Amino acid sequence: MTSPLGKDLLGLEHLSAEQISLVLDTAEPLKEISERTIKKVPTLRGATIVNLFFEASTRTRTSFEFAEKRMSADTVNIAIAASSVSKGETLVDTARNLEAMRIDMVVIRHQSSGAARFLAERIESNVINAGDGTHEHPTQGLLDLLTLRQRFGTLKGKRVCICGDVLHSRVARSNIWGLTKLGAEVAVCGPRSLLPSAIEQMGVHVFDRIEQAIEWADALNVLRLQLERMQAGYIPSLREYNRVFGVTRERLDRAPRDILILHPGPMNRGVEIDSDVADGPHSVILEQVTNGVAVRMAVLYLLAGNSPRLAEAAKGGA
């Protein structure tokens, strides 16, 4: 039995619209499992999944762990600082040693773009990219798509603007691929210093002013300023950034239509987004987090079909 997604989930760039829709359609019914008193189904019983996070994470790591546990997989979290990586062991050696203990899947977050693919090409286990450098964060893109589809019914013709630090954002790339494949119109907005130079080639509009983006969009996906990835000189100051590009209540009040506000988290409150927007009626930020568990359950479920040892377990259904 082969997975409809292939062996690994490395990004949305190489998935078709049908494959993306399949993940979203699979996630919808799985949401209900997290609303039960006993949040557990036997679908992935017998599967062993390793969460290998080389970078900090709250939402993605916890969400994967909940998804794995709610589907009855055995999960192990590798704390990189306390692992042999800190003694100089390579990524591939770490993964091969884990495979020697008979694992089935690896969820990896890594600071280097391409790390997930590098690993996927060298081990037999399914690899899921939980964010690699500035490249892609496919499950974040999928949960954003699910949240928008739930609110809008369809993404066809909807206008979504990705705001802020697009240059350093793997979330932006996964969103652009996913949204355009599902028929949405996509724009980006931010200081030119934080937009990739050839961004128009991805088929997006570019706005230089946040007011233009708010006038145009049905939804804004507001990105975190990734201060830890910035060497220097991208913006004059955080205060100046908020003054010119911040998504504020006053700016939203001038929007010509109801507008949804997404943010992948973690937020810099008072920088890219003000608290009364993040916590206000337009915000679907916590819906994104809830949907993240269902999307990750769907990805695990679909990928399991590609692993001979997991195929039997997956047949049990949700």
Choice from 59, 96, 205, 229 touching ligand CP (CB under 6 A) = 59
Separation between Cα atoms, residue 164 and residue 246, nearest integer Å: 9
Quick one: which segment of 97-105, 121-129, 263-271, 309-317 binds ligand CP (CB under 6 A)? 263-271
Cβ atoms of 33 and 297 closer than 8 Å: yes
Cβ atoms of 144 and 264 closer than 8 Å: yes
Separation between Cα atoms, residue 244 and residue 225, nearest integer Å: 14
Strands 205-207 and 185-189 come out as parallel
Quick one: which segment of 56-64, 65-73, 199-207, 226-234 binds ligand CP (CB under 6 A)? 56-64
Separation between Cα atoms, residue 174 and residue 138, nearest integer Å: 6
Separation between Cα atoms, residue 104 and residue 40, nearest integer Å: 20
Phi, psi of 147 (to 5 degrees): -65, -45
Closest contact distance (angstroms) between CB of 209 and ligand CP is 26
Shorter beta-carbon distance to ligand CP: residue 48 or 60: 60
Separation between Cα atoms, residue 296 and residue 302, nearest integer Å: 10
Choice from 16, 58, 83, 193 touching ligand CP (CB under 6 A) = 58
Shorter beta-carbon distance to ligand CP: residue 251 or 263: 263
Cβ atoms of 201 and 143 closer than 8 Å: no
Closest contact distance (angstroms) between CB of 283 and ligand CP is 15
Choice from 19, 21, 34, 57 touching ligand CP (CB under 6 A) = 57
Closest contact distance (angstroms) between CB of 80 and ligand CP is 15
Closest contact distance (angstroms) between CB of 56 and ligand CP is 6
Which tokens go with 271? 């920088």
Give the H/E segment covering residue 301. helix 285-304
Q: Which of residues 134-163 bind ligand CP (CB under 6 A)?
A: 137, 140
Shorter beta-carbon distance to ligand CP: residue 246 or 264: 264
Shorter beta-carbon distance to ligand CP: residue 43 or 51: 51
Shorter beta-carbon distance to ligand CP: residue 58 or 90: 58
Establish if 266 lies at the interface with ligand CP (CB under 6 A): yes
Establish if 60 lies at the interface with ligand CP (CB under 6 A): yes
DSSP code at position 269: B
Q: Write down the residue that tokens 């990835």 correspond to.
A: 229
String of contacts with ligand CP for each residue 115-134, x by CB under 6 A: ----------------x---
| Listed residue (108, 105, 153) closest to 133, CA to CA | 108
Shorter beta-carbon distance to ligand CP: residue 114 or 305: 114
How many residues of this chain interact with ligand CP, rule: CB under 6 A?
10
String of contacts with ligand CP for each residue 198-237, x by CB under 6 A: ----------------------------------------
Quick one: which segment of 3-11, 57-65, 77-85, 246-254 binds ligand CP (CB under 6 A)? 57-65
Separation between Cα atoms, residue 213 and residue 32, nearest integer Å: 35
DSSP-derived secondary structure for 30-84: HGGGGGSSS---STTTT-EEEEEESS--SHHHHHHHHHHHHTT-EEEEEEGGGSG
Shorter beta-carbon distance to ligand CP: residue 30 or 223: 223
Residues that bind ligand CP (CB under 6 A): 57-60, 131, 137, 140, 264-266
